[in-house]
Amino acid sequence: MRHIISVLMENEPGALSRVVGLFSQRNYNIDSLTVAPTEDQSLSRLTLTTSGDDARIEQITKHLNKIIDVVKLVDLTEGAHIERELMLIKVKAVGAQRAEVKRSVDIFRGSVVDLTANVFTIQLTGTGDKLDAFIAALGDNVVLEVARTGVSGISRGEKTLAL
């Protein structure tokens, strides 16, 4: 099963490599990864998606917790949560195609953030599934370049991941 794990860690050199190193060292996979400082500059928040059965996920969270730089973590998929990913995507848009692409962008509530005579650059946010669906809807031979941030997430309600 797919899990989204958010980690609060010391914003220090070496911290990220310890987290990433753990995954390769123990043969766990990372499907996506995002990391940036939080409102407290001494802390970074890292969010990763991974998959595995319960025993594997338990080992992953236990080993993450053992890393000295890791302050706290939460498996967001254990409860209600909001998941978002941002995608910037360049697509071919010539002649009749332009209206067609624009319609798809509207349906997915994206926006065209840059254009040339032949190309639209589109910004879209949503769950990973939604971004996948958008790419599929565009059809073959249209997509020129995709830049996705990886999944970020936060729990619903009053629960927080903070010190």
Partner 1 sequence: MDQLSGGEMLTRALHDEGVEIIFGYPGGAVLHIYDAIFHQDKVEHILVRHEQAATHAADGYARATGKPGVVLVTSGPGATNAITGIATAYMDSIPMIVISGQVESRMIGTDGFQETDMVGISRPVVKHSFMVQEAKDIPCIVKKAFHIATTGRPGPVVIDIPKDATDPKVKQTYEYPNEMKLRSYAVPTKGHSGQIKKAVDALLTAKRPMIYTGGGVIQGNGSEQLIELTRKLGFPITNTLMGLGAYPASDKQFLGMLGMHGTYEANMAMHYCDVLLCIGARFDDRVTNSDTSKFCPDATILHVDIDPASISKTVTADVPIVGSVAPVIEEMIDQIGKSDKKVDEQALEVWWNQIEQWREKDCLRVNPSAEGIIMPQDAVKAVFEITKGEAYVSSDVGQHQMFAAQYYGFDKPRRWINSGGLGTMGFGFPAAMGVQFAYPEATSVCITGEGSFLMNQQEFATCMQYQLPIKIICLNNEALGMVKQWQDMQYGGRHSHSTYSESLPDFTKLAEAYGHVGIKIEKADELYPKLEEAFAMKDKLVFVDVLVDPNEHVYPMAIKGGAMKDMVLSKTERT
Contact 59, 25 (CB under 8 A): no
In the set 63, 81, 102, 130, which binds partner 1 (CB under 8 A)?
63
Distances (CA, A) of 99 to 68, 94, 106, 125: 53, 9, 11, 21
Contact flag: residue 30 with partner 1 (CB under 8 A): no
CB 163 within 8 A of CB 8: yes
Contact between 17 and partner 1 by CB under 8 A: the answer reads yes
The Cα 161–Cα 163 span in angstroms is 7
Residue among 21, 37, 79, 139 that touches partner 1 (CB under 8 A): 21
Q: How far apart are CA 144 and CA 33, in angstroms?
A: 23
By the rule CB under 8 A, 74 interacts with partner 1:
no
Contact 110, 102 (CB under 8 A): no
Which one of 1, 68, 115, 146 is in contact with partner 1 (CB under 8 A)?
Answer: 68
C-beta neighbour count of 54 within 10 angstroms: 9
CB of 22 to partner 1, least distance (A): 9
Encoding tokens for residue 120?
Answer: 């639209």
40 binds partner 1 (CB under 8 A): no
**Stretch in the footprint of partner 1 (CB under 8 A) among 6-14, 32-40, 79-87, 148-156:** 6-14
Which part of the chain contacts partner 1 (CB under 8 A), choosing from 5-13, 102-110, 125-133, 139-147? Answer: 5-13
Q: Where on the chain is the footprint of partner 1 (CB under 8 A)?
A: 9-10, 13-14, 17-18, 21, 25, 55, 58-59, 62-63, 65-66, 68-71, 163
